[in-house]
A and B are shown apart, each in its own frame.
Chain A
Amino acid sequence: MSADSVRALNQRLHDLTEASADSTWRIAQPRGAHAIACGMRVAADIVIDGHAGYYCAGMNQLARITVNGNVGVGVAENMMSGVVRVKGQASQSAGATAHGGLLVIEGDAAARCGISLKGGNIVVGGSAGHMTGFLSQAGNIVICGDAREALGDSLYETHIYVRGRAEGLGADCMEKDLRDEHREDLAGLLEQAEIDADPATFRRYGSARTLYTYKADNAEVAAQ
């Protein structure tokens, strides 16, 4: 797929209206092209048969996009709603800053998966790379395999669930109790992701909230 054909494809997809959105689009031979099906605004079904490049399904709204292959950097970045499913592996920054919607990566995700997540949900069927959940603010990240080092570094309020081993936690990230409400949320996410896993086998990680305000030794106050 050449750059010209990406432009033509995206324009046709962008020209879809709510009325014409109830259709399935199949994109053959994507050849790793960048920015395929980014900026969708309607609830169309889009299937990409092959590998996609950077920013596939970027800023998605409403659309249901399936990639029968691997994806490059930033799949579903800043997604607002809809569902993006990657049947293969995902490169770095998968689901970065997503505000909503569901990103499912059936294989592994590389570094910084869910970076600065703002409310979206990400389910990784395999393992996730280092600094997954870096600076993430809201939403959920579910990792069915292992998490590499510095998980949840500088985390805000995102919930991170890991079934395998977390190699190391980043600054201000800590393990927290997995309570009933978390198991319930997790079960729902796994069901939506169509991944068969027992929620009780996961561990939960969240923010220790020690970096929320600047701490200093105030000599005057201490002397009083």
Chain B
Amino acid sequence: MKVFISGFGTVGQGTMETLIVKAMDIERITGDKVIITGVTDSKSYAVKDDGVCNFSVLGSKSMSGKVGPDMKDGKSTVDIMKMVDFDTLIEASPTNVETGGEGLVNIKWALENGKNVITVNKGPLALEFQELMSLAKEKGCILKFEGSVGGAMPIINLCNDALAGQKIKSIQGIFNGTCNFILSRMDSGLPFDQALKEAQQLGYAETDPTNDVEGYDSASKVVILANSVFGINAKFKDVNVTGITSITSEAISLAKEHGMVIRLIGEVSKNKLEVSPRLIPKGHPLSISGSLNTALINTDLAGPVTVSGRGAGRKETASAILSDLIAIMLAQKKE
């Protein structure tokens, strides 16, 4: 299986490292090897039909910030993808929920040209989920996206495979670790601004935290779940979104007095797509503290099923990409 990695930040590098470490396991499970034939970041690229040297690419990125000596110089990722042969695109470039950004262009080009796609980039899915799935079906390709919701928390495969046949009535979850970290720190008495600053210092929050604290990141995940689990043709604009910026210290204290905490909850059901701060009783599965992601899946047969995991991180997100890649390799082996 020849692979092209678009985006070589934390997730892209973590994916390459994971593919090196897990090479023997992948071959044992699938009977095939993974060869990375192309890598791009925002400025540079490396391509080779019989496989780039993974260690050189990682070393170069670490030393110079570039994946290799070749600079993009105005070339798009699509231009680079055209230079080399590959079967599956791993799309890990930065998310843009307004336009889909370059990620959307890359995914469309890959599918139109018969390539499978694994994306952890939420923007394209939040904007054009059904269109991309239809395109993949039309071209006989596989589009997988487990890492786009909850990082290492295996919610999509859990709902669609392990819980197959059951009616999923609703999913309520903490889908943004940054907001949960901030609200958890506010539980300890910090005001919002200070909790946000701490999250930024620890690397949980971006310099511009809008996407997280206004609930847009969670809303993208709600859209992906609505489409992939509930079959609703939902778009980002269909989600009713309220972030956490208006939460006061008084609100946190008042909730605490009543044995509750405030958490940013994404909710998906047939008639509700929402991201909003909610009052959660202490001890409830959604009352967790820290940066973890958690989802409560309400089913007709199994009742409530809770799944939890690290929502982001180098190895954590790479684990979701690895499971998608193995699923594609096994599916193609059967054909």
A binds B: no
